[in-house]
């Protein structure tokens, strides 16, 4: 896993955004953290890209062509049974919120972000902010409900799965 940082100034000539787009199209992106940096006429977007580094010179995007989806992760295999049960509860909450707001579920949190919340035993706002790709807006808008559920679950005795190593 690697990280790459980009800045796109408010007065972008197109070069910075083109470089960012080229990088995104040619790598398997795990998460993107985007922040607006306010500095008057020198304001800019800052991007932190978390991507999968390919070994043996393999093509970064794998054999995928533009417009085709990547292989899905089976979180039953990634998470232990207790953690997967918590993951399912988070997905259900996400679905409920998405339906109420008439938005796609991934705009709330992605499956990967939900899995990271479970693996990290997240129960506090500070820990939620450390999940890759979760920005201030999502924490403020949705964090309370997810943290309440996670706090209830972990307090309820689901610590049997142990800490993430």
Confidence of residue 1 (pLDDT cuts 50, 70, 90): confident
At 39, list the tokens.
């500095």
Q: Tell me the C-alpha distance between 156 and 150, whole Å.
A: 10
Confidence of residue 41 (pLDDT cuts 50, 70, 90): confident
Q: Residue 155: what pLDDT? A: 81
Q: Residue 150: what pLDDT? A: 93
165 or 115, which is more confident: 115
Distances in Å between the Cα of 84 and the Cα atoms of 74, 80, 106, 114, 154 are 10, 6, 18, 10, 13
Residue-wise pLDDT for 81-119, tens only, equals 999 999 999 999 999 999 999 988 888 999 999 999 999
Q: Residue 60: what pLDDT? A: 43
Q: Residue 147: what pLDDT? A: 93
Q: Residue 157: what pLDDT? A: 58
Confidence of residue 133 (pLDDT cuts 50, 70, 90): confident
Q: Where are the domains of the chain?
A: 2-52, 75-158
CATH class assigned to 75-158 = mainly alpha
Q: Is the pLDDT of residue 20 over 80?
A: yes
73: exposed, middle or buried (C-beta count within 10 Å: 0-12, 13-18, 19+)?
exposed
Residue-wise pLDDT for 50-88, tens only, equals 888 764 444 444 444 445 456 688 888 888 999 999 999
Look over the chain and give the mean of its residue pLDDT values, rounded to a whole number: 82
* pTM confidence score: 0.54
Distances in Å between the Cα of 159 and the Cα atoms of 21, 116, 117, 163 are 42, 15, 14, 8
């Amino acid at each position: 896993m690697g990280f790459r940082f980009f800045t796109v100034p408010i007065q972008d000539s197109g070069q910075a955004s083109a470089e960012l787009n080229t990088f995104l199209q040619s790598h398997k992106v795990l998460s993107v953290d985007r922040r607006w940096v306010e500095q008057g006429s020198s304001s800019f977007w800052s991007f932190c890209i978390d991507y999968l580094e390919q070994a043996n010179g393999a093509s970064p995007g794998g054999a995928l062509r533009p417009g085709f989806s990547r292989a899905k992760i089976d979180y039953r295999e990634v998470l232990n049974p207790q953690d997967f049960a918590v993951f399912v509860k988070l997905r259900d909450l996400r679905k409920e919120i998405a339906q109420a707001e008439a938005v796609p579920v991934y705009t709330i949190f992605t499956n990967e972000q939900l899995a990271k919340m479970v693996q990290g035993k997240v129960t506090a706002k500070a820990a939620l902010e450390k999940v890759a790709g979760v920005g201030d807006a999502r924490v403020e808008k949705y964090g309370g409900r997810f943290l309440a559920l996670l706090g209830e679950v972990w307090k309820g005795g689901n610590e049997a799965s142990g800490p993430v190593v």
